[in-house]
Amino acid sequence: MAVSDHVDLATFMEGVKKRNPGQTEFIQAVHEVAQDIFEFMSDKVEYHEAQILRRIAEPDRVVSFRVCWEDDNHNIRVQRGWRVQNNNAIGPYKGGIRFHPSVTESVLKFLAFEQTFKNSLTGLPMGGGKGGANFNPRGKSDSEVMRFCQSFMSELYRHIGPNTDVPAGDIGVGGREIGYMFGQYKRLTNRWEGVLTGKGQEYGGSQMRPEATGYGAVYFLQNMLKHQGNDVEGQSAVISGSGNVATHAAEKITQLGGKVLTMSDSGGFIHDPDGIDQEKIDWVKHLKNVKRGRISEYADEFKGATYHEGERPWGVECDLALPCATQNELNEDEAKSLVSNGCKGVSEGANMPTTLEGVKVFHDAKILYGPGKAANAGGVAVSGLEMSQNSERISWNQERLGDMLTDLMEGIHEKCVEYGDDGDGYVDYVKGANIAGFKKVADAMLAFGVV
Ligand code: NDP
Ligand code: 2IT
């Protein structure tokens, strides 16, 4: 059968839309990947015949469950939890858990789909999954968060395992939540095993895991700049978010001699023209992880900084931009404003923070643009190393893991260049990441036959 006998991109996307009504984020993520994969498959009958992309875009399973918990005022609360196990062709399902009121099945399906390609890009044996709940940790006491996590795990535990599915953190899930969930898993199963990553150092967590996503996103940026004979040193950077990824991205930019100008949360952003140095970053980490406060408090603490309520930071003049908060937080107009203000490079710490229209602006302007599935893969990569250490019952030191992270990010960058160099010196990192990520998963699936 000739390649031309198979469905084209438009027909494929019509099918995806029909089968996933109203799931806009999922459809967006599939569209972004399908554009490149259809071009790549144009002379590859085997992928078409085996319906590989169609199969990757249909999660292996979506588990949805009720999560009941009691708040401090003895009200019974009901949330919805999910685990999306997208694809385990190259390893156990792997991906974070997100607790945020905006979590829907569509959001988790897009994240699990993206994770499949991201995990493949790392070169480590991990499939793609994602989970979460529409639970809002903001304003909740530690006991409430503990009861929620325990209830969530009381259902999730039967679907996961160190060789089946290994969750980790994401928005709203950090060290505290992983601790509560790991404790409940251990209590229910009477097994101590590496079923979650991002664990505390005392109980099997890996050095460098907390830093890995933010540091990795900066290493990816550094690799992109180096490819053009440029560097982070002396450059100004605009960062969104103020959580795990944003604070560690800010830390690494600062360590490399760059100047961070902004951070944000869902309430607005702060602009500090003097630069957010290590001392200020430590203050933000404490604000977010211990006090559980809001970024607006930064402007009260540090003279010269301003808070911009209800706004995002993309209008601030900068050389580099790192979206590190959430999906679709950087639109077409904001992308245009970054480009016209002279921004030379964008590295996504968050997953799918730039809209499809925004991505087109960056590509048309031929500025460096590292998509999340490549740029933020350092986090899951070190999670993969945590799994290895747990299996071997050993732990590696910070220096060794730091070196492994820089090597992994360099390797991911190389794969993107291999498949994304358009011949005239410009690298389409989206295309490179999509094709390199797809190829490994697709070839494994071909080997398995129709399963
Ligand atoms: P955190 O919960 O630590 O921080 C999230 C940050 O983003 C907070 O500042 C939060 O502000 C902000 N935020 C969340 N939702 C929104 C929203 N709807 N609008 C504006 N701001 C928002 O999460 P992480 O730092 O771990 O995750 C950030 C991003 O990085 C996510 O896209 C995640 O998927 C991605 N990522 C995370 C990895 C990890 O290892 N943690 C690995 C790879 C990617 P507020 O407090 O107001 O909600
Ligand atoms: O989006 C992501 O890659 C993560 N939230 C981290 C996943 C993981 O398993 O470490």
Whole-number Å distance, alpha carbon 239 to ligand 1 midpoint, is 12
The reply to whether ligand 2 has any atom less than 6 angstroms from the CB of 351 is: yes
Within 10 angstroms of residue 262's Cβ, the number of other Cβ atoms is 29
- Tokens 């732990």 appear where? 395
pLDDT of 5 reads 66
**pLDDT one-digit tens code per residue, 390-436:** 999 999 999 999 999 999 999 999 999 999 998 888 999 999 999 99
pLDDT of 303 reads 95
The reply to whether ligand 1 has any atom less than 6 angstroms from the CB of 169 is: yes
What residues does 350 pair with on adjacent strands?
none
Q: If you average pLDDT over every residue of the chain, what do you get?
A: 97
| Cβ atoms of 57 and 13 closer than 8 Å | no
Whole-number Å distance, alpha carbon 248 to ligand 2 midpoint, is 15
Structure tokens given for 160? 């996961």
In the chain, helix, strand, coil percent, each to 5? 50, 15, 30
Structure tokens given for 293? 């406060």
| Cβ atoms of 329 and 349 closer than 8 Å | no
Whole-number Å distance, alpha carbon 46 to ligand 1 midpoint, is 39
Q: Report the residue count for the chain.
A: 451
Residue type, 318: C
pLDDT of 3 reads 61
Residue nearest to ligand 2 atom 9, measured at CA:
95
pLDDT of 83 reads 99
The reply to whether ligand 2 has any atom less than 6 angstroms from the CB of 217 is: no
The reply to whether ligand 2 has any atom less than 6 angstroms from the CB of 199 is: no
Residues of the chain with pLDDT under 50: none
**H helices within 322-371, ranges in order?**
332-340, 356-364
Concatenated DSSP letters of 57-103 = TS-SEEEEEEEEEE-TTS-EEEEEEEEEEEE-SSSSEEEEEEE-TT-
Contacts of 114 (CB under 8 A, 6+ apart): 29, 128, 351, 352, 372, 373
Angle at 85 between CA 81 and CA 90, to 5 degrees: 155
Q: Which atom of ligand 1 is nearest to the CA of 380?
A: 42
Q: Which of 177, 380, 387, 389 to mutate to test the pocket of ligand 2 (most atoms within 8 A of CB)?
A: 380
Q: Which atom of ligand 2 is nearest to the CA of 114?
A: 1
- Catalytic residue check, 366: no
Residue nearest to ligand 1 atom 22, measured at CA:
266
Sketch out the chain's domains with CATH numbers: 3-56 (no CATH), 61-195 (3.40.50.10860), 210-375 (3.40.50.720)
Contacts of 394 (CB under 8 A, 6+ apart): none
Concatenated DSSP letters of 2-48 = -GGGS--HHHHHHHHHHHSTT-HHHHHHHHHHHHHHHHHGGG-HHHH
Compute CA 30 distance to the chain's CA centroid, rounded to the nearest angstrom: 16
| Cβ atoms of 345 and 404 closer than 8 Å | no
Whole-number Å distance, alpha carbon 2 to ligand 1 midpoint, is 45
pLDDT of 35 reads 97
Among 94, 118, 130, 259, the active-site one is 130
Whole-number Å distance, alpha carbon 34 to ligand 2 midpoint, is 22
